[in-house]
């Protein structure tokens, strides 16, 4: 079959392209925003990629067009597909129809930590010899790919609550029908498609409805927003993590690099790894519990996580020049920014942290988080925020003196270069390419 993917450089759609290729399909695609790591991964796999949405890039003899959720009516490629009456579907529906039927699906949902937790879970199953398939919204270093077909019925999927496509406004995750479900956390996000928190909770309730009674749901011990979802109805056994009952971490280091794993009153094992922060400890507990449900003993899961190498763009050290370290992180929500900075602070102590933030997500650009953004950056000693002219809001005039807003990228880059000193840690946070700032910093430093 000849499959053409619109929006192929999105993390989900790029992974779907790999799965389609693994099934023997001829795969091509196009996208407007092309940047690593997904563009690099597609090129390495020999998948033809066209930049832009000209209809001429769609093969004349295409059998199926898969349309990503970033595309809407008015897009020239979408209009061409509709006018020509070409067969089309969404990425989530294609995955469900072609890969997930008959599989033991392990899904990871939540506002934060989906990519990291799904990567942990896939690695635990791999370490245990279960050769799972997976589709993850990032590239785990343990695998070097964001998706693979796998050799067993087990399939790990990052379950995103964002809408499916312009013609299907349900959340993508309602298509996956997991047997094992992790609910990491829940906050208001995606303000471009959800009116309020209740609208997101409704979609999560739809997801809960799809988990069988013989399945398992893992949920935090202290998340009121998820508790409200589960109170709407739950027909599946529950296990809590991150509190005093269920799965818990004890006797850990301050920075989260070592901790004991307990289930109830029984110690299961010890995790000692390079990851930082309480949020990653909780991610680990959820992954261990989910893996146990699919047959991996917790002690073996702990051993696996000791060899976990995290995901690209999750506190990834991109390089060090003259004693200045440059990190890349995907954080783009105040809660994620807070926990990311806290994890790095616990590692580096009193050494200076310079945060460099691009408010790129639709929710951030709309100004939904502008009141909580500056407080989330308190963990940094100095902050630079990129505020291009088309940003929908401005920082308040009484911003702390440690925060500098720059509406020009070159000015931002030059200001960071001037500020940085040996021993500093430069933490770049964005959910996009940020004009290749990481390499430009390393070159200029």
392-409 pLDDT, tens digit each: 777 766 665 688 888 899
- For the chain, the structural domain boundaries read 2-90, 102-305, 316-444
Q: Considering only the C-alpha atoms of the chain, give the largest distance between any 2 of them, rounded to a whole number of Å.
A: 63
**Per-residue confidence (pLDDT) for residue 36, from 0 to 100:** 67
Beta strands, E only, 40-128: 48-51, 64-67, 88-90, 104-109
**Per-residue confidence (pLDDT) for residue 282, from 0 to 100:** 95
**Per-residue confidence (pLDDT) for residue 38, from 0 to 100:** 73
**Per-residue confidence (pLDDT) for residue 63, from 0 to 100:** 98
**Per-residue confidence (pLDDT) for residue 402, from 0 to 100:** 85
Mapped onto helix, strand or coil, the DSSP state of residue 41 is helix
- Report residue 339 CA to chain centroid gap: 15
Helix (H) or strand (E) holding 259: strand 258-263
**Per-residue confidence (pLDDT) for residue 399, from 0 to 100:** 63
Task: Please tell me the distance from the alpha carbon of residue 188 to that of residue 264, in angstroms, as a whole number.
Answer: 31
**Per-residue confidence (pLDDT) for residue 398, from 0 to 100:** 62
202-211 pLDDT, tens digit each: 999 999 999 9
**Per-residue confidence (pLDDT) for residue 412, from 0 to 100:** 92
Write down the H helix ranges in 96-222: 114-127, 197-209
CATH topology classification for 2-90: Rossmann fold (3.40.50)
Q: In the CATH scheme, what is the code of domain 316-444? A: 3.90.190.20
33-78 pLDDT, tens digit each: 766 667 787 888 889 889 999 999 999 999 999 999 999 999 999 9
* Complete edge-to-edge strand list for the sheet that includes strand 258-263: 147-148, 133-135, 154-158, 104-109, 180-183, 216-220, 238-241, 247-250, 258-263, 266-272
Task: Please tell me the distance from the alpha carbon of residue 346 to that of residue 348, in angstroms, as a whole number.
Answer: 6
> Residues near 218 by Cβ (< 8 Å), separated by ≥ 6?
180, 181, 182, 183, 238, 239, 240, 241, 247, 286, 289, 290
The CATH superfamily of 102-305 is: Mur-like, catalytic domain (3.40.1190.10)
Residues of the chain with pLDDT under 70: 34-37, 366, 396-401
């Amino acid at each position: 079959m000849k499959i053409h993917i619109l929006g192929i450089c999105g993390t989900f759609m790029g992974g779907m392209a790999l799965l389609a290729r693994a099934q023997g399909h001829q795969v091509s695609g196009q996208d407007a925003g092309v940047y690593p790591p997904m563009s690099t991964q597609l090129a390495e796999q020999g998948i033809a990629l066209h930049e832009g949405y000209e209809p001429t890039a769609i093969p004349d003899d295409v059998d199926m067009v898969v349309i990503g959720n970033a595309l809407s009516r008015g897009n020239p490629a979408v209009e061409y597909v509709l006018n020509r009456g070409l067969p089309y579907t969404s990425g989530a529906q294609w995955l469900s129809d072609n890969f997930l039927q008959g599989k033991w699906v392990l899904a990871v949902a939540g506002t934060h930590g989906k990519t990291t937790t799904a990567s942990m879970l896939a690695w635990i199953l791999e370490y245990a010899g279960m050769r799972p398939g997976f589709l993850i919204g990032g590239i785990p270093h343990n695998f070097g790919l964001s998706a693979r077909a796998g050799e067993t019925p087990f399939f790990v999927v990052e379950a995103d609550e964002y809408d499916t496509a312009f013609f299907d406004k349900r959340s993508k995750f309602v298509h996956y029908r997991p047997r094992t479900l992790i609910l990491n956390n829940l906050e208001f996000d995606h303000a471009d498609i959800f009116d309020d928190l209740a609208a997101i909770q409704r979609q999560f309730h739809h997801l809960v409805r799809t988990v069988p009674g013989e399945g398992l749901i893992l949920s935090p011990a202290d998340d009121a927003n998820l508790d409200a979802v589960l109170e709407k109805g739950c027909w599946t056994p529950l296990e809590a993590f991150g509190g005093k009952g269920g799965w818990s971490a004890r006797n850990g280091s301050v920075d989260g690099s070592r901790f004991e794993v307990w289930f109830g009153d029984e110690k299961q094992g010890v995790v000692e790894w390079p990851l930082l922060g309480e949020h990653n400890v909780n991610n680990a507990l959820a992954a261990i519990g989910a893996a146990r449900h699919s047959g991996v003993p917790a002690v073996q899961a702990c051993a696996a996580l000791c060899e976990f190498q995290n995901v690209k763009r999750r506190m990834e050290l991109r390089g060090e020049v003259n004693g200045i370290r440059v990190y890349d992180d995907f954080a783009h929500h105040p809660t994620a920014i807070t926990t990311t900075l806290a994890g790095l602070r616990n590692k580096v102590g009193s050494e200076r942290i310079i945060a460099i933030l691009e408010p790129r997500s639709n929710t951030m650009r709309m100004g939904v988080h502008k009141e909580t953004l500056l407080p989330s950056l308190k963990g940094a000693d100095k902050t630079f925020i990129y505020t291009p002219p088309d940003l929908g809001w401005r920082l308040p005039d009484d911003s702390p003196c440690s925060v500098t807003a720059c509406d020009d990228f070159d000015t931002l880059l030059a200001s960071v270069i001037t500020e940085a000193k040996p021993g500093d840690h430069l933490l770049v946070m964005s959910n996009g390419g940020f004009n290749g700032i990481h390499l430009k910093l390393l070159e200029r430093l």
